[in-house]
Amino acid sequence: MKKSRRVKKSNNWRIKQHRDQFFKKSKTLGYRSRASFKLLELNNKFKFLKKNTSLLDLGSYPGGWSQVASNLITSGKILSIDTKPMKPIDNVEFIKCDIFEDKSKDKINNFFKGKIDVIISDMAADTTGNKSLDSIRTNQLCSEVLNFSTKSLKPDGIIVSKIFMGEDFIEVKNLAKSLFKNVNFFKPKSSRNESKETYLHCKILKTL
């Protein structure tokens, strides 16, 4: 019975992907994932990817966001980090590590030789089947990225991070507002309607 349910769930996923216009469009345009369109929409809204930007992509696998960034950042620096291996992308340096380990932070500092213009994160916790728990765990990641950014961003720096609309959403929102002068939220059209995800855009660090 359990095997039958898994097969049915897998088939439903394939059908949904086949019908998904952004999934099909990503294949046509050669993007690594449909998530590429989320970053394109976010950048169209907030204009944070410029040709000379120094950018850190956290949780970069499979490389959809790094791929978009590499097309727009032509004279800056891009570093992508994930615990999963990522296939090479032109103009992108990749490090396989855990961002929250101290040795990883040393590697980031060595690469940029200074503060960063933009940090992007499409990270989500591994799913457990419990939507409430998954939301909490992903929002904890967002909070950790926010705290990390205060030590890594330039004073006028920008962070863009996935966040879920859940019971701890307000806590993360309040944390963001305590750290940044400008805080906005945006749900791209390429984000599935049934998904609880939205994206946090923060700009200009407050003096702590």
Q: Report yes or no: 200 and 160 within 8 Å, Cβ to Cβ.
A: yes
Residues 18 and 118 in one domain: no
Higher pLDDT, 146 or 167: 146
Residues 10 and 103 in one domain: no
Residues 5 and 42 in one domain: no
Inter-residue long-range contacts of 65-73, CB under 8 Å, 24+ positions, other chains counted: 65/35, 65/36, 65/38, 65/39, 65/120, 65/122, 66/92, 66/94, 67/31, 67/32, 67/36, 68/31, 68/36, 68/39, 68/40, 68/43, 69/39, 69/120, 72/43, 73/49
- pTM across the whole model: 0.86
Instruction: Taking residues 58-84, report their average pLDDT.
Output: 96
Measured between alpha carbons, how far is 122 from 77 in angstroms, rounded to an integer? 19
Residues 87 and 134 in one domain: yes
Say yes or no to pLDDT of 170 above 60. yes
Residues 25 and 92 in one domain: no
Question: Model confidence at 72, in pLDDT bands (50, 70, 90)?
Answer: very high
As to burial, measured by CB atoms within 10 angstroms (0-12 exposed, 13-18 middle, 19+ buried), residue 176 is buried
Domain count, the chain: 2
Residues 65 and 151 in one domain: yes
Structure tokens at 7: 């097969």
Residues 66 and 26 in one domain: no
Residues 146 and 177 in one domain: yes
Instruction: Taking residues 50-61, report their average pLDDT.
Output: 97
Residues 7 and 39 in one domain: no
Q: Report yes or no: 111 and 93 within 8 Å, Cβ to Cβ.
A: yes
Q: Which domain holds residue 9?
A: 1-30
CATH number of the domain where residue 191 is located: 3.40.50.150
Residues 80 and 3 in one domain: no
Residues 61 and 163 in one domain: yes
Amino acid present at 129 = G
Per cent of the chain over pLDDT 90 is: 68
Question: Model confidence at 24, in pLDDT bands (50, 70, 90)?
Answer: low
Q: Report yes or no: 179 and 130 within 8 Å, Cβ to Cβ.
A: no
Cis peptide before 188 (omega within 30 of 0): no
Residues 41 and 1 in one domain: no
pLDDT at 133: 86
As annotated, the active-site residues are 162
Q: How do strand 77-82 and strand 93-96 relate by DSSP bridges?
A: parallel
